[in-house]
Amino acid sequence: MKINDLDLNSLLAKSVRESVSANVPKVVSEAYVAEPKSFKQVTEFVSQKSKDLHTDLYKGYVESLNNVSAKLDTANKSASNPRHSEFRSLKLDEAYNLNAVWLHELFFANCFDPNSQITMDSLSYLKLQRDFGTFDDWQKDFMAVAMAAGNGWVVCGYHTFLRRYVNMIVSHHSGDVMLGVFPVVVLDMWEHSYTRDYLGDKKNYLMAQMKEFNWSVIEDRFKRAEAIAGAVKS
């Protein structure tokens, strides 16, 4: 069969799909509905006003995500194109708001622990040491990525292709993202996170957050990441 011999009307694996279509009830909706979760932001490093602002912004993303998800359910897929189409706009906004929701939840959960403690025999400690040389080197790299991020995020996660932990920038919520990274440590570097309390002193904000990382929450994520690592290798 040569190029251009394709019959556009011949459906792929047609017979298989037809027999299935007959038997499987059509799913009415693929939309996922998210509910905003509650997070204790027990810290003196962030003012109550900033905490409330941040919670409101997070709720806004949950609401937008639900809107986008519902609209995707009925969007016209056959009119999809890269210049201007409802489907394209919705897919871009889906990635943006979905990441925003998840990143905020990861961030709220792994920060604000006044009793922050990491032990040398934890998975967190050992894996970061393995992949960055020392825990200190990981911290320095994490800080450098945070300082480079602009309005965005610094994310440490397990890279399922490199099979190691990496620190990465996320620009805004969905820009410059490494594919296939399972996040373990997340810090918000958008200006709304620190301007109220630290003005332009981003470094002080960063240090304060890192002093209060909840290593117990993070350790749970490392356990999952290591299970993922096992799954990937198998």
Residues 91 to 110: which contact a second copy by CB under 8 A? 91-100, 102-103
Q: Tell me which of 31, 123, 196, 219 binds a second copy, using CB under 8 A.
A: 196
Residues counted in the chain: 234
Q: Tell me which of 45, 107, 108, 222 binds a second copy, using CB under 8 A.
A: 45
Residue 42 binds a second copy (CB under 8 A): no
Residue 184 binds a second copy (CB under 8 A): no
For residue 77, the minimal CB distance to a second copy (Å) is 4
Residue 13 binds a second copy (CB under 8 A): yes
| DSSP-assigned beta bridge partners for residue 187 | 154
Residues 143-172 touching a second copy, rule: CB under 8 A, are 143-145, 147-151, 155, 157, 160-162, 164, 168-170, 172
Q: Tell me which of 31, 210, 216, 219 binds a second copy, using CB under 8 A.
A: 210
For residue 214, the minimal CB distance to a second copy (Å) is 13
Residue 74 binds a second copy (CB under 8 A): no
Residue 187 binds a second copy (CB under 8 A): no
For residue 178, give the nearest of 191, 192, 165 by alpha carbon.
165
Residue 33 binds a second copy (CB under 8 A): no
Compare residues 40 and 223 and give the one whose CB is closer to a second copy: 223
Distances (CA, A) of 140 to 111, 122, 135: 18, 19, 9
